[in-house]
Chain A
Amino acid sequence: MACKRLVATLTVRDGRVVKSYGYAGWRPAGDIFSALRNLDRWGADEILLLDISRRPTLDPTVLNAIARARIATPLAYGGGLRQTEDFMRLMDLGCDRFVVETLLFDSERRLERLADLVGRQALIGCVPLGRNPEGGWVPTLPFSSLRLSEGVVPANLATTLDLLCSSPVSEYLLIAAEVEGSAGAFPLELVVACSNLPDHSVIWFGGLDQASASACLAAPVTAAVALGHLFLEKEVALPLLRDALLLSSPAAPLRRVRILRR
């Protein structure tokens, strides 16, 4: 069967990799080209590049780094995707999948048209989730500043999951937005709350560490766990985490990777 995936996430702002803290603060964490090359060499199952600059167009610095890095690892891109041409350009540069967030809530018709063009398997629906005052999970940042032309943001988790299931996307990137950047703070109760989603459909992100990643991987609903900071802080943290996850749970369905040495 297909292995579950260990996804390395690069959060990018203004052409640089940043360490993001709950999408509320950032500090520089290196250049995109080097990060892509390293993660490719360390055997990430997929690299997720999220540009949080909120620019009106794709950032040429980011595109240039992707083109130069020439990686042989699946690459998913999210952030600022608006025009059909954006998707085609990124695909030609080597992006395999696209993360849609605003579009997911805004226009079903546009999303369907896009799926006809790039294929549903290339689309990942992204929802950052947080707690409302009553303790329920709701779509959260950046929706306070989001202007939707057609759709509405779901009011609770049940309607959010219904929307995801009816959308022409292949996987769901669910982000624990409030703890993003705080390793070990991932709320495992979110996995339980989303357990009705199809098996192998969710990529979890935000506040994961080894223990919570291991717990997420054990859930049938999980397709992948995405980690960011951890991989940037220590050389070869990614293969070490993979080995630890394989050891901690022999049944952990991750693939084994031989690391390329130069």
Chain B
Amino acid sequence: MATFHLLDYGVGNVGSLLQLFEALGHSVVRTTRAHQIADTPLLILPGVGSAVTALGKLHQLGLSDVLRARHEMERPMLGICLGAQLPFSILSEAHNDAGLALLPGRVAPLGGNPGFHTGWSPLDHGQLRACGLARSLRSNETFFFNHQYVCPEEGLERSVIAFSNSEKRVTAMYICGHLTGIQFHPEKSQRQGRILMRNILEDHYGL
């Protein structure tokens, strides 16, 4: 089983994620050190809360450029929840400020009333299969979402959609080369969350 790193920049549900990776038999180390971020076989970019706070912390720790450099070297990176939104160019939540700009597009408010997607939603199983990530998952499996902003659907190499409480399309997952983003919380999606994360690590990243 592999050892890789999780960017611990003070924003997020780090404890639950570490538990998930540990349950899958991997050894994950928290880090903010530039050389570890550059060299690790897989970097986990977590995040819960506000994009403004998260971006502020990344800038404050001087890690934005380190992440861009890793991306340019096409090294594997997995963003979860807010960590899946930060790689885009424009973040509405951050008053249309630039995100990490690793991917084009704008992370926009979900809209509607209520403008939140909180709860368990099924993923488009056909798209999940097309991503090669559906092993041992049934078509009606649900995953836990809790977000107010949503990643763009256009311009992504491969994506998997779900529908929110108000039937809005939500980019639930995307794969762009070495960069994978997951909008929902696999670490809080019980058995199916564990299976999906195993599929990402083993079938997509070969860990």
Q: Is the CB of B164 within 8 A of A96?
A: no
Q: Which of A117-125, A137-145, A185-193, A231-239 contacts B (4 or more CB under 8 A)?
A: A117-125
Interface residues of B (CB under 8 A from A): 10, 12-16, 19-20, 48-50, 52-53, 82, 113-114, 116-121, 140, 142, 144-148, 163-167, 185, 187-191, 193-194
CB interface residues, A 203-259, toward B, < 8 Å: 223-224, 255-258
CA of A115 to CA of B93 in the docked complex: distance in angstroms? 12
| Complex Cα gap A15–B72 (Å) | 50
With a cutoff of 8 Å between Cβ atoms, the chain B residues found around residue A96 in the complex are 13, 48, 146, 185, 188
Residue contact A199 to B12, C-beta cutoff 8 Å:
no
- On chain A, the residues within 8 Å of B187 by CB distance are 72
B166 engages A72 (CB within 8 Å): no
CB distance B188 to A121 under 8 Å?
Answer: no
The docked-state distance in angstroms from the alpha carbon of A70 to that of B13 is 12
Determine the chain B residues whose CB is within 8 A of the CB of A4 once the complex forms. Answer: 119
Chain B residues with CB under 8 A of A72: 16, 19-20, 187-191, 193-194
Q: Is the interface of B mostly helix, strand, loop or mixed?
A: mixed
Report the minimal beta-carbon distance from A178 to chain B, rounded to whole angstroms.
27
Assess the A2–B117 pair: CB atoms within 8 A.
yes
B contact residues around A260 at 8 Å (CB): 190-191
CB closest residue in chain A, given B82: A119
A155 interface residue, CB < 8 Å from B? no
Known pairs A2-B145, A91-B49, A200-B114 / 7 extra A-B pairs, C-beta < 8 Å: A1-B165, A72-B20, A72-B194, A116-B50, A119-B148, A122-B146, A170-B116
Q: In the complex, which residue of chain B has the Cβ closest to the Cβ of A69? A: B19
User: B119–A45 contact, CB under 8 A?
Assistant: yes
Smallest distance from the beta carbon of A135 to chain B beta carbons, Å?
29
Q: Is the CB of A5 within 8 A of B189?
A: no
Q: For B13, list chain A residues within 8 Å (CB).
A: 91-92, 94, 96
Size class of the A contact interface (CB-based, 8 Å): 35 or more
| Assembly CA distance A200 to B110 (angstroms) | 14
Q: A223 CB to closest chain B CB, in angstroms? A: 7
Contact A1 B146 (CB under 8 A): no
The 9 closest A-B pairs by CB, nearest first: A2-B119, A200-B165, A94-B16, A170-B116, A119-B49, A2-B165, A198-B114, A118-B49, A255-B142
Please, how many angstroms separate the alpha-carbon atoms of A92 and B19 in the complex? 12
Q: Which residues of B contact A2 (CB under 8 A)?
A: 117-121, 145, 163-165
Would you list 6 pairs from A and B whose C-beta atoms are within 8 A, ordered by A residue?
A: A1-B121, A72-B187, A91-B49, A119-B50, A199-B113, A200-B119
Contact residues in B for A255 (Cβ distance below 8 Å): 120, 142
Q: Report yes or no: B188 in contact with A170, Cβ–Cβ below 8 A.
A: no
A73–B145 alpha-carbon span in the complex (Å): 12
Chain B's closest residue to A257 (CB) is B190
- Min distance, Cβ A217 to any Cβ of chain B, angstroms: 12
Q: Which residues of B contact A120 (CB under 8 A)?
A: 116, 148
Are A94 and B19 in contact (CB-based, < 8 A)?
A: yes
Chain B residue contacts of A198, Cβ below 8 A: 113-114
Taking each of A73, A74, A122, A260, which has the highest tally of chain B beta carbons within 10 Å of its own beta carbon? Answer: A74
Contact A170 B191 (CB under 8 A): no
Q: How far is the CB of B154 from chain A (nearest CB, A)?
A: 22
| Chain B, residue nearest A119 (CB) | B49
